[in-house]
Amino acid sequence: MIEITPLASSSAGNCIFVSDGVTNLLFDAGIKGKKLRELLFNSSLKLSDLNACLCTHNHQDHSKGLADLSAAGIDCYLLRSTREKLGLSGHRFHDIEYRKQFQIGSFNIVPFFLDHSDTDGTPVPNCGFLVQSGTEKVVYITDTKFCRYKFPGLTHIIIECNYDLTVLQRNVDEGLDIEQKKRLLESHFGLENVLEFLRVNDVSKLREIHLVHLSDRNSDEKKMKREVAALTGVPVYVTKK
pLDDT tens-place values along the chain, 241 residues long: 999 999 999 989 999 999 999 999 999 999 998 899 999 988 888 888 999 999 999 999 999 999 999 999 999 999 999 999 999 999 999 999 999 999 999 999 999 999 999 988 899 999 999 999 999 999 999 999 889 999 999 999 999 999 999 998 888 778 777 777 777 888 899 999 999 999 999 999 999 999 999 998 899 999 999 999 999 999 999 987 7
Question: Is the separation of the CB atoms in 124 and 82 below 8 Å?
Answer: no
What's the confidence (pLDDT) of residue 184? 80
- Which conformational region is residue 13 in: left (phi greater than 0), alpha (psi within -120 to 50 degrees), or beta? left
What's the CA dihedral at 161, 166, 169, 174 to 10 degrees?
Answer: -110
What's the confidence (pLDDT) of residue 180? 77
- What does pTM read for this prediction? 0.96
CATH number assigned to the domain with residue range 3-238, chosen from the 4 options 3.50.50.60, 3.40.50.300, 3.60.15.10, 3.30.230.10: 3.60.15.10
Q: How far is CA 138 from the centre of its chain?
A: 11
What's the confidence (pLDDT) of residue 199? 97
What's the confidence (pLDDT) of residue 185? 81
Question: Is the separation of the CB atoms in 217 and 164 below 8 Å?
Answer: no
